[in-house]
Amino acid sequence: MGPMAGRQRVVAVRRTYNRWVANQTLEDYALRFTARKARRWSPTRVANTALGSISFLALEAIGGAITLNYGFTNALFAILAGAILIFASALPISYYASRYGVDMDLLTRGAGFGYIGSTITSLIYASFTFIFFAIEAAIMATALEMVFGLPLAAGYVVSSLLVIPLVAYGFTVISRIQLWTQPLWLALHTLPFLFIAIQDSDAFTAWTRFSGRAAETGDGGFDLMLFGAAASVVFSLLAQIGEQVDFIRFLPYDPDATGRKKLGWWAALVAAGPGWIVIGTIKLLLGSFLVVLALQNAVPLELAAEPTRMYLVAFQYVTPSPQLALGLTGLFVVLSQLKINVTNTYAGSIAWSNFFSRLTHSHPGRVVWVVFNVVIGLMLMELGIYKTLEPVLGLYSSVAASWIGALVADLVVNKPLGLSPRHVEFKRAHLYDINPVGVGAMLLATALSMLAFLGALGPTLKVCAPFLAFATAFAAAPAIAWATRGHYYIARRPFDSWNGEEAIRCRICQHAFEPDDMAFCPVYAGAICSLCCSLDARCGDGCKRDARLGVQLRHALDAVLPAKAATALKARFGHYLAVLLMLGLAVGAVLSLVYVEVASVNAEAQALIRSTLWKVFFILMIVAGVATWLFVLARESRKVAQEETRRQTDLLMQEIEAHERTDAQLQKAKEASEAANLAKSRYLVGIGHEFRTPLSAIFGYSQMLERDPAMPPHRIDAVRVIRRSAEHLSGLLDGLLDVSKIESGRLQLNRGEVRFGELLDQLVGMFRLQAAGKGIAFRFEAPEDLPPVVFTDEGRIRQILINLLSNAIKFTDSGTVCLRVRHRSQIAEFEVEDTGPGIATGDLERIFQPFERGSAANPMVPGMGLGLTITKLLTEVMGGEITVTSTPGKGSLFRVRLMMSAAMLSTAAAQPDHPIRGYHGPRLTVLVTDDDLAHRNLLGDLLAELGFAVVKATDGQSCLALAELHRPDILLLDISMPGMNGLEVARHLRATGHGDTAIILVSADTREDRSAPAPGQPYDGFVAKPVSIPKLLACIGRLRGIEWEYETPAGTDDGPPLFTASELPPQHHIAELIHLGRIGYVRGMQAKLAEIAAAHPELERFVGRMRTLVSNYDLNQYMAALEAVYRDDSHGEASNDESGHDDEIRNQTA
């Protein structure tokens, strides 16, 4: 495995930038590659924007200052020498910046400095921008003071704040400003010189003869010392190419361009890049000329080098009106300074963004650094930096020359010679933190130039320190690159190549960028944009661990120092020395600037100032030493905490991996279990389908036989056993399939209006007789304010209560079974309590499992152990809960709570609960289609008895033919048939004009609930096998609107009596049967009927009929039949007989 294999994975949390960073109109691709789609402006527009910033009057100020101090000759040669060197340096920088779409910082990264190494140059560049911003804004404030009388302090604030809104929108707005102001600026700039040339041609002669202050020490001619001093000031403008590059990166580059297009690109590149110094040279010379002209017009020497004073004198040649001349001067100065300060501020914001993003891994947005740069410039103005222009720029030029010299050397020497990569690599992921080529060359050159600047290398090199810095850096960079063999340019090669793709989405910020701006991050395991890469603080440079700053420094110490010394410096003491040294250099640099500023004003007190600053330096170093020690200790503590966190994280990752392996095994086991469960469900469905077809015939014919008046009484019980056995098998199949459906989540509920009172009465009547038959009491407790109608699934609620009540009666041998019902706040609560054997505590959960009956269950009591399972699952599916409490030996209490909202009382009349014998109205034709002969004949015989015209079909094709022939009113259609299935037949019939036919599907396949056909289905109703005759007739009656004829119940006055006089027993027997029926003593009724059958065998019909009613617990019919015959055959002595037997009956029942 590779070196990255064991790396801890870092979760990619999406970085949401604020609206300034996300808006590229504001952000202008700071910190990142300038996308090709953003380079939408023409080369001319880009060049004009870049050249627009060369309006700054600091050029005139510099030209005037060096002429005033060193004379025309030395100033001229210094300007020309500086211009040539700046042009030669700017050309390769501009070319690479435009070709690779990078700003000055990104170019420096890839051209020999490394990712962190270019942080130093970003600070140098940012310093250039705010120094020149302060100079330009101070010039503008002077103009405002002269024109409007605005105090300088207020003018500084106005000059600073005015540029912020102009720079906020980046290149888009800046290009427009430069485009719109360029004509006016050119006109105002050239106008005074035309008038001077016409009116005072001798001024040019005086300029060329001006020797300045140099005449005090020489003849005013060329002097190497004076030339070097002047050139050092001019050379400080070397960093201006950075501001040009910030615009040049928007220049569209086409590698395939030829002819005029290529020539146009080069022309724009030269004009926008090195071409600035051409215009700059002219402005430097104009400043040199104007300072002489100002002196000739009696401007004081200390004010002559101020650009505002210079141009006021120049505009006085244009108009004799002092007010108009002052107005033109103010307009020109304000316009010039706005044009340059938008550029200074823009460039500074990019430089600060690059600097702080690498140190803090945070980027609040380029606009924030716009304000930051402006505030620094404002502070420098208030400190009077404009008054010390020359020494500040002379010091700065050495540092800038060291940076630019190393950069240019890499571009023009190292890259062509192959000492560095041909392309510019700027992404953190691919760079060493420190590249010794650029950083080493710059530090060496800066050190030599500082020694020279301080006079340690002689007076000549002192004044030529910037040139020494540039030359040293230019020579050292190739030498270091050759010595290191270019090893520190690229930390790693790209893992993936995205050539040919237009845009790639960043793994972190989720924005899409061009491939040049993307790198592959192994820590986040995906593509990451350069900005997210720069700002990430969690990855620990996992892609280039040997290229980090700390690792590089440790390797360097090991290479140059003995092992013990290197080990000591790599420990806590070494960290302390390194930080303290950095702070000491920073404090020393600041105090040195203070010394230069103060000593130049008061030369007599230099010794005292120097002594005081040394004391301040040592005091600050004591404070810095303490602060550094605290910093080092805090860093070590943080490092220890991070190591411990990493260690714990590794342990957690190992645990997570173990859990993942366990989870994978559990998932496999789960899938195997689900597969087994699915196979079980399919098996049950298949078996159920095979059982239901013959079971339907058994169940149907047993119902018909039981209803047949011609059935011999002694065979009624046998038929009843057959029907009940079929019902039991059907219920068992339904239970198994219900469990399967619930487990697979396919059970559907059919909510509707339910007559709550009637439902409870039916259940109470049913189970009161069962309890009486077993010799136990049955109580029903319910408040009087139960809602008459509720919304629920009647079938499911009936199933739940029947299961609970059946179990209670089944397992209770003595005592009481009680059903309690309450309804409150749309919640119905049912309690079923018994005095049975109870349930052991350990079995309270197990009894709800399939095929579990509890350890206390009587093995002689029949049952499969599915009732409570189905009850619990149904309750949960309906959104309710079931609980059980039990005390062994005393009984159990099951409580079910269900959502059951009350409804308005339905107006639909309840159907009579009597057998159907026919229907009213015209005769209807029924087409029965089923491939099973028994089931087909069953349905046909049943419906024929009720008066329907029945036609039978064996398959789908014959069904279609018979349907066209007979045009049936009702179609009973089996779903599963060979050839066309039932649904296909139904669709075909609907499509061929049988829209009025009521189509009822009849099937043993209950995998899908079709009881409520969805809109667009070709059928109207569904009946499951085995067919329940009442349900089938109810479905037919609902679809066809049939008015049924019901059999007249016994005991009514309609029709002939049920028994003839010869078929009745003596009246005292009838009286005893009536009395037993009133008290609900079933066993007594059965015993009395057995006694009558033994004493009077000829009364077989009477005894059989009564036994049937008692066995069915139909006490209403039982009492009605007896009371009818008892009234018909009453005699006066009957009452005496009845009263004579009351005591005997009471004794028997007791």
Render pLDDT for 1071-1082 as a digit per residue (tens, 0 to 9): 888 888 777 677
677 has pLDDT over 80: no
Give the contacts of 153 (CB within 8 A, at least 6 positions apart): 382
Measure the CA–CA gap between 1143 and 1149, rounded to whole angstroms.
Answer: 10
Which DSSP symbol is given to 413? I
| Per-residue confidence (pLDDT) for residue 359, from 0 to 100 | 76
Render pLDDT for 791-822 as a digit per residue (tens, 0 to 9): 888 878 888 888 888 888 888 888 899 999 99
Render pLDDT for 1074-1104 as a digit per residue (tens, 0 to 9): 888 777 677 778 888 888 888 888 887 788 7
| Per-residue confidence (pLDDT) for residue 140, from 0 to 100 | 87
- What is the pLDDT of the chain when averaged over all its residues? 79
| Per-residue confidence (pLDDT) for residue 357, from 0 to 100 | 78
Measure the CA–CA gap between 212 and 218, rounded to whole angstroms.
Answer: 10
Q: Identify each DSSP E strand in 875-915 by its residue range.
A: 881-887, 891-899
Apex CA 150: angle with CA 149 and CA 155, to 5°? 145
Give the contacts of 1057 (CB within 8 A, at least 6 positions apart): 1124, 1125, 1128
896 has pLDDT over 90: yes
Confidence category of residue 1149, pLDDT binned at 50, 70, 90: very low
Bigger pLDDT: 92 vs 915 = 92
Which DSSP symbol is given to 1020? S
| Per-residue confidence (pLDDT) for residue 20, from 0 to 100 | 44
Measured in Å, how far apart are the chain's first and last C-alpha atoms? 92
| Per-residue confidence (pLDDT) for residue 1129, from 0 to 100 | 42
Pairing of β 518-521 and β 526-529: antiparallel
Measure the CA–CA gap between 956 and 976, rounded to whole angstroms.
Answer: 10
Pairing of β 891-899 and β 916-919: unpaired
Confidence category of residue 2, pLDDT binned at 50, 70, 90: very low
User: Which residue from 680, 700, 725 is spatially nearest to 1004, judged by alpha carbons?
Assistant: 700
| Per-residue confidence (pLDDT) for residue 1145, from 0 to 100 | 37
**Are 850 and 865 spatial neighbours (Cβ–Cβ below 8 Å)?**
yes
| DSSP sequence for 768-797 | HHHHHHHT-EEEEE--TT--SEEEE-HHHH
769 has pLDDT over 80: no
| Per-residue confidence (pLDDT) for residue 258, from 0 to 100 | 80
**Are 811 and 858 spatial neighbours (Cβ–Cβ below 8 Å)?**
yes
Helices of type H across 149-258: 152-161, 164-167, 170-199, 202-208, 224-235, 240-248
Render pLDDT for 423-477 as a digit per residue (tens, 0 to 9): 888 888 888 888 899 999 999 999 898 888 877 888 888 888 888 999 999 999 9
Measure the CA–CA gap between 328 and 332, rounded to whole angstroms.
Answer: 6
User: Mean pLDDT throughout 918-936?
Assistant: 85
Render pLDDT for 101-123 as a digit per residue (tens, 0 to 9): 888 888 898 888 888 888 888 88
User: Mean pLDDT throughout 684-703?
Assistant: 70
**Are 1023 and 697 spatial neighbours (Cβ–Cβ below 8 Å)?**
no
Q: Identify each DSSP E strand in 479-538 by its residue range.
A: 504-505, 512-513, 518-521, 526-529
User: Which residue from 727, 774, 741, 780 is spatially nearest to 757, judged by alpha carbons?
Assistant: 780
Q: Respond yes or no on whether the N-terminal peptide bond of residue 92 is cis (omega within 30° of 0).
A: no
**Backbone phi, psi, residue 933, to 5°:** -60, -45
| Per-residue confidence (pLDDT) for residue 597, from 0 to 100 | 65
Measure the CA–CA gap between 84 and 80, rounded to whole angstroms.
Answer: 6
Measure the CA–CA gap between 1017 and 1030, rounded to whole angstroms.
Answer: 24
**Are 236 and 66 spatial neighbours (Cβ–Cβ below 8 Å)?**
no
Report in angstroms the alpha-carbon separations of 974 from 380, 815, 955, 1019, 1020. Answer: 97, 49, 9, 12, 13
What the block records as the tokens of 167 is 């720079």
Q: Which helix (H) or strand (E) holds 480?
A: helix 465-484
Which DSSP symbol is given to 257? -
What the block records as the tokens of 179 is 């485009």
Measure the CA–CA gap between 929 and 866, rounded to whole angstroms.
Answer: 35
**3-class DSSP state of 502:** coil
Pairing of β 916-919 and β 1044-1046: antiparallel
| Per-residue confidence (pLDDT) for residue 688, from 0 to 100 | 67
What the block records as the tokens of 195 is 């008038």
648 has pLDDT over 80: yes
Confidence category of residue 478, pLDDT binned at 50, 70, 90: very high
Report in angstroms the alpha-carbon separations of 459 from 213, 451, 465. Answer: 19, 11, 10
**3-class DSSP state of 998:** strand
Render pLDDT for 255-307 as a digit per residue (tens, 0 to 9): 777 878 888 888 888 988 898 899 999 999 999 999 999 888 888 887 888 88
Count other Cβ atoms within 10 Å, centred on residue 668: 10
What the block records as the tokens of 556 is 């360097």
| Per-residue confidence (pLDDT) for residue 833, from 0 to 100 | 92
**Backbone phi, psi, residue 897, to 5°:** -120, 125
Which DSSP symbol is given to 299? -
User: Mean pLDDT throughout 714-724?
Assistant: 69
Neighbouring-strand partners of residue 929: 953, 973
Render pLDDT for 829-880 as a digit per residue (tens, 0 to 9): 999 999 988 888 877 777 777 766 554 455 444 555 667 888 888 888 888 8
Query: How far, in whole angstroms, is CA 190 from its chain's centroid?
Result: 60
| Per-residue confidence (pLDDT) for residue 470, from 0 to 100 | 92
15 has pLDDT over 60: no
Bigger pLDDT: 1138 vs 334 = 334
214 has pLDDT over 70: no
**Are 973 and 1000 spatial neighbours (Cβ–Cβ below 8 Å)?**
yes
Confidence category of residue 762, pLDDT binned at 50, 70, 90: confident
| Per-residue confidence (pLDDT) for residue 499, from 0 to 100 | 65
Q: Which amino acid is it at 276?
A: W
Q: Sort 1008 into a burial class: Cβ within 10 Å, 0-12 / 13-18 / 19+.
A: exposed
| DSSP sequence for 997-1040 | SEEEEEES--SS--SSPPTT-S-SEEEESSPPHHHHHHHHHHHH
Q: Which residue has the tokens 């789609």?
A: 37
HSE-up (13 A, CA, CB side) for residue 8: 18
**Are 1141 and 1068 spatial neighbours (Cβ–Cβ below 8 Å)?**
yes
Bigger pLDDT: 12 vs 801 = 801
- The pTM of this model reads 0.57
HSE-up (13 A, CA, CB side) for residue 985: 32
Confidence category of residue 1023, pLDDT binned at 50, 70, 90: confident
**3-class DSSP state of 1113:** coil
User: Which residue from 957, 949, 1011 is spatially nearest to 984, judged by alpha carbons?
Assistant: 957
What the block records as the tokens of 222 is 């060329």
